A and B are shown apart, each in its own frame.
Chain A
Amino acid sequence: MRMKSILLSGVLAATANFAAAHCHNDVPVKTISNAFPAYEIMTAAMQACGNVESELDKDHRLKIVDAFSANPSLYTMTSLTNSTSVPMIDADLLRPLDDLVAAHGGGLNKNQFIRIDGKIMAIAAFANTQHLMYREDILNDLGIAVPATWDEYIAAGEQIQAAGVVDYPIGHYTKDGWNLAFVFVNHYLGEGGEFFNADWTPSINNEKGLAVLERMAKLATLMDPEYLVSDTTFVTKQMQQGKIAMANLWASRAGAVNDPDESSVSGKVVMAAGLRGSERIASTIWWDGWAVAKNISDEEAEAAFKLIVASMTEEIVMENNDDAIWLAPGFVPGDAAKGAFATAAGDAPPYPMNKYIGSMHGALGSGLAAFMTGDKDAATTLADIEAAYVSDAKEKGLL
């Protein structure tokens, strides 16, 4: 049950649940991490071992670079993901974990390690991606086959809208800023597009970019007109309240749409692979995990690593099986994880780990809305975004 896992974040509940865990920690450890259910579960498990102070903060990425540059570092360890790992690795703020993995990491899966030039810099705990979620009852009633590509998806949406089952058949995280840019990034990769030329100058103002914008505009006609404020939570709620029939959504929400405590359509939503563009699946694979600070003593690093291992034991993974797509041993993919595995089994690429995409993502985030609201045409939008990227990358010394 989802409510239960949320309550687990409370220290009290955590102690009660994990008191039996075979871990004991004497060295004071401070963690900072993103704040969603899987991290709440893991930090609660760490706290059960004793002497752990945890900070769960969605905006942790604004702090970690500065905090880990301090000597001694303000935190012993942090959560990391594809994009947040880049500045940390660049500034050499993470401690290579090879020796600790050899000593204490026997129970981890080999594909949990993030290796840079052969050195283990972080331990992934779970993966995340975006894939199709659809209302099985609606699609069956109308005799629509499960869409596999974005074009089929749009066609299915039009059919559902024409049948009048719901006003707006599609939900999508197209909130202005990071989300909207992320939609573009995924679609552009799905078209087989390359964001940069060999010298890192931008190259999105091309046929593929235009095709993506055209598709985004078409999708918008099938979505609630307030789509520019629609983030992942908004889409989840639309799905839970039965207002939409299909969504391409983060795998981490697969549990919530079928949660009987919150959803009026629980049990009717089925997961399927991410939708294909003309070249490949237009989704990206993300990893989420932990890394240990460099500017701390070996003793603290060892304690931190042991806690990381203790936060993803088989018992914990099994107990919270549906709250994430765990990479650690013990995970049994259930219905909720079906879509994510189908996406990964396809050809979805990992979200790129470099600085240029960070700058491009930012430029897309502030530039795309003008196209969606109709203030600019597609070509002008893309040209302006390229210009914004160049000016940003120049200021940051990247070009």
Chain B
Amino acid sequence: MKRKTFLLFVGPSVFMMVLFIAAPLLSVLWQSFHVTQPVYERVEVETCTPGLLGSVCETSLKTRPILDESGKILTETAFVGFQSYRNVLEPEKLRAALKAGSWHEIMNIRFWSALRFTLVFTVLTLPLVLGTGFLIALAVNNTLQRIKGPVIFVSLLPFIITPVIGALSIRWLFIGDGILTAGLEWWLQKDIAMFAQAWTIELMIYIYRVWHVAPFAFVVFYAGLQTVNKDAVEAAIIDGATRWQRLRYVIVPHLMPLVIFLTLIHLMDAYRVFEEIVGFSASAHVISLQWLTYEFLLQDGTGARAISRASASAILTMIGIAVLLGPPLRRVWREQGRGGTLV
């Protein structure tokens, strides 16, 4: 295909991605190295606010931004180098904690505790999602032809359900005296509060994520199982391969590219974990990297955002994903080189 034709084909897609993804990405990168602040002045202001029994007036020295001629807030932007990154990473605290050799103290620095959770979450749910998805695919493939349709339908439900609602529906089962908590209490004969300590919340988050994405792994694996070469399987049977050996040496290698495909997708999505923290109100106990970014972006009560730190934290998240994607991507690269086609 000629370059011009190629550009014609991909043009619209590239245009949209540049406009809505690449451009904001560049501006985030820029902002992470700069700080923009309003210019303030100190003035005496009399403020009267309503009380229930009459107005309350007070005169105080207030810090007010200066407005320019057009009525916009006057701001100044300064290059601050890696200062925002330092504010996020808090290297001095980390050094002190490392010197003291205290894991507990490292976990008290927000970024590092967010990184800990995000990494554990990503790495732990990966095999669980792949494994559960694969087992369901095998089981569905083995079951009666007649019930395959309904089973696939039910299996896909957790994947298609709106994430906000999926998380809430699981939350309702557990929060307060939700019926599953009540059931557990009845079974174990003791008082249980699922939202009271970090490990139960973390556990619920893991379970929710596996519940939510395993169906995707399932459907991909199931589709893969449909394309297993029948001749190869039969040849293996003639060679006297056991069921386990057929699985190990014929089916799994056939599905290997899918494992990489799912791994890539899962690493990207899991590393951005965010909805679960909101849905399970987990922020007191565990936070993730995207939650940290969100927290910086959230306006405080008076409408101010910490854009520079948010940008720095977002860039750090991106770097993290890039590092994680390295190994599977290297594999893709090699296969590309051989002319293979992944995905």
User: A interface vs B, CB < 8 Å?
Assistant: 61-62, 65, 69, 82-84, 86-88, 90-92, 110-118, 124, 127, 129, 167, 175-178, 180, 200, 224-229, 234, 237-238, 285, 287, 289, 325, 327, 340-341, 344-345, 350, 353-359, 361-362, 366, 369-370, 372-373, 375-376, 380, 384, 391-392, 395-398
Contacts and interface: CB of A to CB of B under 8 A. Distances in A.
B37 A287 contact: no
A341 B72 CA distance: 41
Interface stretch (B122-130, B153-161, B190-198): B190-198
A268 B38 CA distance: 52
A350 B49 contact: yes
Nearest to B59: A117
Interface in B47-80: 47-57, 62-65, 67, 71-73
B45 to A, nearest CB: 6
A289 B55 CA distance: 14
Given A114-B48, A116-B46, A395 B35 contact: yes
A399 to B, nearest CB: 10
Given A229-B195, A355-B63, A373-B285, A361 B40 contact: no
Contact of B302 (A124, A358, A375, A384): A358
A228 B46 contact: no
A376 to B, nearest CB: 6
B51 A225 contact: no
Interface centre among A237, A392, A397 (most CB of B within 10 A): A397
A226 B46 contact: no
A165 B63 CA distance: 51
B303 A366 contact: no
A177 B294 CA distance: 13
B284 A90 contact: no
A227 B195 CA distance: 8
A177 B283 contact: yes
B62 A115 contact: no
Given A90-B73, A113-B55, A62 B195 contact: no
A361 B300 contact: yes
A83 B284 contact: no
A331 to B, nearest CB: 10
A176 B281 contact: yes
B303 A124 contact: no
B45 A117 contact: yes
Contacts of A111: 50-51, 53-55
B209 to A, nearest CB: 19
A142 B237 CA distance: 79
Contacts of A200: 63
Contacts of B51: 111, 127, 285, 344, 350
Contact of A175 (B39, B84, B281, B295): B281
A200 B63 CA distance: 10
B253 interface: no
A231 B175 CA distance: 13
17 contacts: A61-B303, A88-B303, A92-B67, A111-B51, A111-B54, A127-B52, A167-B191, A176-B284, A226-B176, A226-B195, A227-B196, A287-B49, A287-B50, A289-B50, A350-B51, A353-B49, A359-B302
Nearest to A374: B197
B304 A87 contact: yes
B301 interface: yes
Interface stretch (B4-12, B104-112, B212-220): B104-112
B50 A345 contact: no
A307 B40 CA distance: 35
Closest 5 CB pairs of A and B: A397-B37, A358-B302, A87-B303, A176-B284, A225-B196
B104 A375 contact: yes
Given A225-B193, A375-B107, A65 B303 contact: yes
A83 B302 contact: yes
Given A118-B46, A369-B284, A376-B108, A395 B52 contact: no
